[in-house]
A and B are shown apart, each in its own frame.
Chain A
Amino acid sequence: MSEPTNPFVSSSGRRATCMEMLQLFLDGEVTTEQREYFLSHMDHCMPCFKSYQVDMAIKQLLKDRCCGDGAPVDLVAQIKAQIIQKDS
């Protein structure tokens, strides 16, 4: 089976590196064509596959553990009071 055309080649003709493709894929910044190309690329590129697993796990960990418990309960009231006060 022949390799599909690489949709990651820039207009200047430069091919994206594994790391660049991985980052775009991870962040959902790829076209459908690029997505399919990279998924098939990962089937035979073990470093990309391993890195993807780690990067996704970190992304998920950040989302789960670093988004905080929310703003203090009185913050909205304070903001509204400040606007009313300075508006009048």
Chain B
Amino acid sequence: MDEGVRQVYTEAEKQEIFEKEFLPHINAMYNFGYRLTLERDDAKDLVQDTYFKAYRFIESFQKGTNAKAWLFRILKNSFINDYRKKTKEPSKVDYQEVETYYNSDDVHRQITPDLRVDSLKDMIGDEISNALNSLDVDFRTVIILCDLEGFKYEEMAKILDIPIGTVRSRLHRARQLLKDKLSEYAKSMGYKNT
């Protein structure tokens, strides 16, 4: 993801990179687009636009490096710069509060889970997907990158242009919010929380 160094590729090399390094991530990219926009047509447009940009700026990509992270970064930027502007302004999350929360001395008290594993095992419908989709997009994003796609914190920091400490605290807060939502579902399914 070093955008400062330009590579020189022949047309054949460009095609090869595109086919062998970019296109294999199409399903993960589409799912990322869908989870961000929550609309299938918008996801398709976003992915198409991302691949177009990736091809156009292919000389900024170093062959054999982390293509998936590079593509995810382009998609995330397209979403913020193009898609979000066309739609409503997103709600702003108070990250200062998140940092304070994460670093506070109360953390020991809050570790005891409010959910039980057996209630999660019964969530075989759309509960988890709906819970994820209900989160603010910035919280949703870190969960997608970490739990669905398995990116490391360092990769997430580069994709999102935020420090690793912020990745950790945002992820922590996102999971708390997701658990709150899942607890509501568990209660509605008749589970009594501990």
Chain A interface size band reads 35 or more
Given A51-B111, A58-B182: A67 and B121 interface contact (C-beta under 8 Å): no
Q: Which of B102, B115, B116, B146 contacts A27 (CB 8 A)?
A: B146
Q: How many A-B residue pairs have CB under 8 A?
A: 116
Cα of A17 to Cα of B169 in the assembled complex, Å: 13
Chain-A contact segment, one of B2-10, B59-67, B147-155: B147-155
Interface residues of B in 25-53 (CB under 8 A from A): 26-31, 34-35, 40, 44, 47-48, 51-52
Q: Are B117 and A53 in contact (CB under 8 A)?
A: yes
Given A18-B108, A19-B110, A79-B51: A71 and B128 interface contact (C-beta under 8 Å): no
Interface residues of B in 16-30 (CB under 8 A from A): 18, 23, 26-30
Residues from chain A with Cβ under 8 Å of B132 in the complex = 62, 66
The closest CB in chain B to the CB of A83 belongs to B55
Q: Are A75 and B112 in contact (CB under 8 A)?
A: no
Given A29-B153, A57-B121, A58-B120: A17 and B107 interface contact (C-beta under 8 Å): yes
Least CB distance, A83 to chain B, in whole angstroms:
5
Indicate if A55 sits at the interface (CB-CB under 8 A): yes
Least CB distance, A3 to chain B, in whole angstroms:
17
The main secondary structure of chain B at its interface with chain A is helix
Chain B interface size band reads 35 or more
Given A23-B171, A29-B153, A53-B117: A62 and B107 interface contact (C-beta under 8 Å): no
Residues from chain B with Cβ under 8 Å of A54 in the complex = 113, 115-117, 120, 179
Q: Are A71 and B47 in contact (CB under 8 A)?
A: yes
The closest CB in chain A to the CB of B22 belongs to A79
Cα of A67 to Cα of B144 in the assembled complex, Å: 9
The closest CB in chain B to the CB of A61 belongs to B128
Cα of A39 to Cα of B111 in the assembled complex, Å: 17
Q: Are B129 and A23 in contact (CB under 8 A)?
A: no
Q: Which B residues form the contact surface with A (CB < 8 A)?
A: 18, 23, 26-31, 34-35, 40, 44, 47-48, 51-52, 55, 102, 107-108, 110-113, 115-117, 120-121, 123, 126, 128-129, 132, 143-144, 146-148, 152-153, 168, 171-172, 175, 178-179, 182
| CB<8 Å pairs between A and B, sample of 12 | A20-B168, A22-B111, A27-B171, A28-B152, A50-B113, A51-B113, A58-B182, A62-B128, A63-B148, A66-B31, A66-B144, A71-B44
